[in-house]
Each structure stands twice: as C-alpha cells, then as structure tokens.
Structure 1
C-alpha cells in the first residue's frame, strides 16, 4: 500500500520568531577545529568496536558501552550536561520517546537521561552513509521511508513491535528535520499513530542548548554551553481514537516547544528576529 505524504501538524502557541546568536570569533573557529579532532578520535574507535560487537551480541549486552560512547561524545562537544526527568517516568515502561531535532548529536545528548534501551528510527537512505550507516544497521536501527508516516511497510511495523516486545523503547524526531531557527517546528503525526497502535505511551523529550553547539547548515562546533534534557511527563495512548491522537500531537509539541521557548526567553546573548 502506498501512503500519501504526511502533512505536518502544528501545535498551539504563537510564532515567536527565529533565534539569532552572536557571530563566531576567530577563537571559536579554532576551538571548533579542535573539538572535531577530539570527537572523531573518540567516535571512530568506539563505533568500530560497537559495530563489530553488535554482530556477535544482543544489543542489551552492549548497553554499558553504548552509554559510555554517548557520555564521551557529549563531553568532547565541550558541553555541560544535565537531565531533568519527570518523576512519573517509569524506568521499566517502554515509551515512544519523541525529541526535538537540532543537530546530528541529538541522540547522544538525550540517551543517558533515562535508563531505557532506546532503539532509533532513521531514514533508510541514511544507511548509505559511510561508517555511521554500517553502525546503525548493526545496532538494529529501524529504517523508514520519508513521508510515509503511519503508512510504513508491514516489515517496519513488525520491527518496531519486536523492539517493544523485548522491552525496548523507540526514539524518534517528529519534526522530521533539524530546526533552522532554533524553534520547535511542526510535528508530523505518524509516530503518534504508531505509538497508539503499538500500545506505547508517548514521552516528550525537550533538549535545550544543542542549537549553540551546532546547527543545520554549519559544521561549526561551539564549546562551553549547557545542554539540558527535559523528559516527560508521558501521555497515554491506549484507547485513543484518531481524533484524540491528532489532539495529542499538539499537546506533546506544546510541552517540547514550551521548554525551548522558555530557554530562549532567558538566554543571555540570543536575540529574536520578528516573524514577517
């Protein structure tokens, strides 16, 4: 069955304008070069090791190594990291974790915030990336087609159901693309319907501080920022009809966008360009 391209669903709240940060200095550019060197020196041996081990061992067996990799990668970004997890988030409950999307390091920023084993969702075309694509396939990352939403193939749905049956959570990015202006974009509805169909509560994750680290359209890394991961509270999906799921899209986006907008409102150096 071929599904129509999915239409983004905007949540509530006013349009607040694009975030503009100060231009990088010569020191910032030199520091970025050094951060890339440190990051690659960590990423290459760690992902090579995990790729080989994933072919031999179940993913759960490698979770300590996976968490070590994420911890080290965040440290080597020069970021000060902390997590704020709502007390109702159950360590034993699988969730559909839905996170705002800022840059290529989003998954390592959020991973250690909770003890859940999180299986990722990735566009299938990304599996063609040298090195990283090989790692994603070895780890069992679920490949999806762009724009299909809840119309994913039976094989994709079976892969997600198998992860849930193992007690794993799913990590996805409902914006479908990285932010260009520092704000949270419209959420696509597909992952919400999939969560309902799999019997998973939806747990929002809002990460702040990553836009300063790196943003879409630039390879510039900036050290010294504070990255905060806000997790929960979760939203139940059991028994929701389609109309209620559509309402849930806006509710979850409001939670995520609320954290991000409050962060920018008190940011010491950012300014906002009015929406035209």
Structure 2
C-alpha cells in the first residue's frame, strides 16, 4: 500500500506543465495591470450604489482567485472546513503570516457567505483611490502611532460589525522568518475579551516556500490551509496566558507536518 504524501511533500509540486505556467505568466504580465487597475477604480465610480460593499467584496475575492490561477497556485482547504466557516459567526480570525500570498489565499478559500475584512494601517488610506476602495471593502483603518488608540479603534469597529463579519488579524505582526510561528502580540486576545467574540485560528502552510522573502514571482504549488475550532478566552486566566494558549494551539497544527 502506498503512503499518501503529506501536504508538505506536495506543496512544491507544480500545478500546471511548464508551458502552461509560462503562458499564464505572460497573460498576467500583459493584462494583469489593466484588470487590477479596473478593480481599484471601481469604487470611485460605484461606491454610492446600493449594496456596493457586498458585490465589490465578491469582486475582490474573485480577483484574488484569478490571480492565484494565473500564478498556478492552488489554495487547498477541505470541503468540511469551508462549510463550517460559511456558518461562522461572532468571531475574530487570526492567521499566521509567512508570505505576501497569505491574504490572497485566505480570500480565495473562505466562502462568500462568510464576510471578513482586514485591519489596514492608516498610511495606506492616505491616497484617495485607496481610501475609497478600502472603505468600500470594509477595511478597518488603524492609526499605529498610538497602540492604545489603535486597539480602541479596532475594538469599536468589531463591536459594530454584523455577527457574520470578522476582522482578520496577524498575531505575529509581520512575516515570520523562522521555522515555526513567531511571538504573538496580545491584540486579538484583548479585542476578543472586550467584544465577547471567539477567536477563529487559521493556519497557513508553505506559502513562504512558494514565495520566500526577496522573491517577486512565486513558484507554482499548493498552499494548504487549516481552520481550527473556535478559541475562547478564559476569563480566569491572564491575557498573557490566553495568548500563549492560542499560540500553542496554532503551533500544534503548524508543526504537525
């Protein structure tokens, strides 16, 4: 009986033949800038239309899916987990951060019924074009000049979100270079405690193997994504204990391969 290859062993297996990958890259280089400029300009023209946020969010998700297809990258998540996430409510999503591909793969695999958004640093919203687009997509604008102000802004934004919408946070704060997960910042736990929401940990595998630091074009392959059961903060524990328990929960899944 042949052993089934582990996700780590299949991560760098090319999705398409070399000729197909070359053709896709050519299409991306030639036509990609025009398509993604269109995505960026849509909010300037349509942001006042009724229901704009809903259909624009789906448009952005489709753009991420098409980008991964053109890069010959597959984002893999089980059907059971997708179905579970479609019904997810009252949560804050936390994911590990290994590569610039992480956000695109998350956008691709999470079902349309599950709305989520990202927290973006205020500087990204200074340009008028980006500001309209980010607000249209529901991004939470964070001023990182003051940690307390940023946390208060994020907490208030989460409190006003519908139950089916979640904000996505990177507890490591930046892309991690090491073999395992980096130290976690307490922001997600603090917001969860203040809002009463659960934390939904999502673990992304091997995105850094497809697109390491310093590389511009990624390799073809598969990024595997695990969504863990909801994590509930312990009111009897300290914030530091909850952060450590959350990190340990995610490390157990990240390191299993």
TM over 0.5: yes
What pairs up with 1:1-276 in 2 under 5 angstroms? Answer: 34=26, 37=29, 39-50=32-43, 52-56=45-49, 57-84=51-78, 85=81, 91-115=87-111, 116-128=114-126, 132=130, 134-146=132-144, 148=146, 152=150, 154-163=152-161, 165=162, 167-181=164-178, 183-216=180-213, 218-237=214-233, 240-241=235-236, 243=238, 245-263=239-257
Normalised to the residue count of structure 1, the TM-score between the two structures is 0.70
Q: Label 1:182 to 1:43 Cα distance change in 2 as closer, same or farther (>3 A).
A: farther
SS in 1 for 2:109: coil
Give the C-alpha shift of residue 205 in structure 1.
Answer: 0.8
Q: Label 1:167 to 1:92 Cα distance change in 2 as closer, same or farther (>3 A).
A: same
Greater helix content: 2
Q: Label 1:188 to 1:178 Cα distance change in 2 as closer, same or farther (>3 A).
A: same
The answer to whether the Cα contact below 8 Å between 1:95 and 1:203 also exists between their aligned partners in 2 is: yes
Equivalent pairs counted in the alignment come to 232
Give the C-alpha shift of residue 39 in structure 1.
Answer: 4.6
Distance 1:71 1:242 in 2: 40
Q: Label 1:55 to 1:262 Cα distance change in 2 as closer, same or farther (>3 A).
A: farther
The answer to whether the Cα contact below 8 Å between 2:75 and 2:109 also exists between their aligned partners in 1 is: no
Equivalent position of 1:10 in the other structure? none
Give the C-alpha shift of residue 110 in structure 1.
Answer: 0.9
Which structure's relative contact order is higher, taking Cα pairs within 8 Å and 6+ residues apart? 1
Structure 2: 5+ residue stretches without partners: 1-11, 13-17
The answer to whether the Cα contact below 8 Å between 2:92 and 2:168 also exists between their aligned partners in 1 is: yes
Give the C-alpha shift of residue 256 in structure 1.
Answer: 2.6
Structure 1: 5+ residue stretches without partners: 1-20, 22-26, 264-276
When the two chains are superposed, the root-mean-square deviation of aligned CA atoms in Å is 3.3
Give the C-alpha shift of residue 177 in structure 1.
Answer: 0.8
The answer to whether the Cα contact below 8 Å between 1:203 and 1:235 also exists between their aligned partners in 2 is: yes
